[in-house]
Amino acid sequence: MATSSLALSPAKCVPSSFPPRISLRSSSSPGGRLLGKLPALEKLSHSKRGGKCRAQVVMMPLGVPKVPYRASSEGSWQYVDIWNVLYQERIVFIGQHIDDDLANRVVATMLYLDSVDSSKHLHFYISCPGGSLTPSMAIYDTMGSVRSGIATLALGAAYDIAGFLLAAGEKGMRMAMPLARIALQPPEGATRGQADDIQTEVNELGRLRDCLYEQLAINTGQPVDKIHKDLDRMKIFSAQEALDYGLIDKIVRPPKYASSSLSIGGVGPYNASF
């Protein structure tokens, strides 16, 4: 049975650059076959036997992944939250139920990146089950107010209000992965109290529904009456159906499948690339 050992590469006591890299070599082959390189924080020490270098790998704690990152204005590397690195690349993930906290973070990130450089696009990666209406509307309004273009990509699922955010991206820059699902439905609310208070909430939901449907008609090119009819109940779209409806502008197919004729998810052969 093959065993693996950790060997320092390059074989020096002090790594030439940060982050240090550990080479994983297998002892089953002569000379040790290189299996891969993994970034890790190391504590280097001398062995008493032969003065060889020995590396102690400090394992990363479970939780949010941290990756090595060096800002262009700084000379040293540091481990930072992976989301912060993606923010620097103008990538914003919406990957959970949209609540006040998430909406505040997304809006703040959009405003900051737009102030830094409004000539570059912001890229929204959406895999979201939906969320609260008011925080989602804050994201929606901010998308329309920043000077940067907004590119949206659905992967996994974009349900409920997340589907509206997907369609709110810049025309020509709204995309979905082949197996993504998009679902739209009328806005919902919950209230209790006196009959007058409940009626007020019903009227407000009706107003917001009409507003969303009018915006969706602009973004998709569909008549408002058709949207009202289609979304009387939840309507689920495949990637191809979302493309035909006008929710997205293209289906993103990974380049490694470009030469394949495989049909997945009813979106035709994988014959296109990014």
Residue 92 gets the label, from left (phi > 0), alpha (psi -120 to 50) or beta, of beta
- As a whole number of angstroms, the distance between CA 45 and CA 39 comes to 18
Q: Which residues are within 8 A (CB) of 132 and not within 5 positions of it... i.e. 6 or more apart?
A: 97, 98, 99, 100
Cβ atoms within 10 A of the Cβ of 263, count? 12
pLDDT tens digits for the chain (274 residues)? 444 433 333 333 334 443 444 333 443 444 444 334 444 444 444 444 455 555 454 555 556 677 777 766 666 777 777 877 888 889 999 999 999 999 999 999 999 999 999 999 999 999 999 999 999 999 999 999 999 999 999 999 999 999 999 999 999 999 999 999 999 998 876 677 788 888 888 888 889 899 999 999 999 999 999 999 999 889 999 999 999 999 999 999 877 655 554 444 444 444 443 3
- As a whole number of angstroms, the distance between CA 205 and CA 133 comes to 10
- As a whole number of angstroms, the distance between CA 271 and CA 13 comes to 49
For tokens 């590397």, the residue is 77
pLDDT score at 88: 82
pLDDT score at 12: 39
